[in-house]
Every structure is written in structure tokens, then in C-alpha cells.
Amino acid sequence: MAAQGTTPATPREFFRVSLPRFRGGTAQDWLQWLPNFERLAKLQRWNSRDKSLYLGIILEHEASHTYTEAFSSVTDIDNDEQFDLSMQMMGLAFVQGNYCERLEGDIHMMVKKRAGSVASLHFRMMKMVRMLKNLPEGALGIDEPTQVRYFNRAMPGECKRAYEISENDLLTMT
């Protein structure tokens, strides 16, 4: 029982944010893992020192060796510019130089799978747009009208007609 004038302790509300360890892999693996790390760092309000510390903990195997090489020349870990440069060097170890062209080609040639839904097409499109934006070198941001144009081109005729019948204009991808 709580003392007079006080309230009983209420259970704290919290949530757990988890991030899988990164062991190395393909360019796609890196480009999908990196935004999750950046989102976690933003939620936790990590500075460059914290990010570097947690990167050292989270990375394993091939990625750990790449981290050691990329961050070996850092003299001031609190310097955001040095941290960003080291992260770019890490990214270049996993992402080939011509990967931007490949992603652009994949977006340009994307079509809705016969068994897939329009929502799955949208998900694939947005995943590729995010990967293009996170490239360590030659990053591209595709503006909203261009995304809509690519999305419309990828949809088969019956889906386009369904949109027209519903009188919903597809003007945004978000």
C-alpha cells in the first residue's frame, strides 16, 4: 500500500529496439543494414564516439575487420566529419562502384510480379530508392514525381485501370 500523499509505482512503459549484428556480405546487405543502424543511433541520440563504440560491438567477422581498417586513421573520434568519412570507407568496402547503375537499372526495369500485389511492388520500389540514397559514393535521391512515374510504368494495365476506376490519383509514394 502506498503511503498517504503518494501514488503507487506505475509500471514503466518501454520498448526494445534491436539491431541484428552485421557480419559482412553483399552491397544490398550493407545498404539495408545501414539505415537501421542510423535510425537506432538517432533514437538513442548517439554522438560520433557512441556510434563508433557500438559499431565495434555490433560488427562481426568480415565487417569487424573492415571497421578496424576504416577507423584506424581516425584521430578525433568526436569529429563528425572523420566519423562520416570512415563510414564512407566502410561502405565502399561492401558496395562496388557500379552498384548505383545496377540499382537504377533495376528500378527502371521493375515490373509487378504476376502473383505479387501492388503493395509488394511499392515495398520493393521504396527499398531500392532507400538503397540508392544510402550509397557511399554517387548516392542518388529520386524525387517524388520520378518515383511515381517508375511505379506507374511497373504496374500492369489492369492495375492502372483499377486505379482509374477508383478515381484515386497516384501522386505520392509515401
Can you give the pLDDT at residue 161? 67
Q: How many residues does the chain have?
A: 174
- In this predicted structure, the answer to whether residue 37 has a pLDDT above a threshold of 60 is yes
Q: pLDDT tens for residues 69-112?
A: 888 877 777 888 888 888 888 888 888 878 888 888 887 787 77
Orientation angle between helical segments 99-109 and 118-133, nearest 10 degrees = 160
Cell of 106: 533495376
Cell of 132: 540508392
Cell of 122: 511499392
Burial class (CB in 10 A: 0-12, 13-18, 19+), 134: middle
Q: pLDDT tens for residues 132-163?
A: 888 887 766 777 777 777 777 777 776 666 66
CA dist 52 and 72 (Å) reads 11
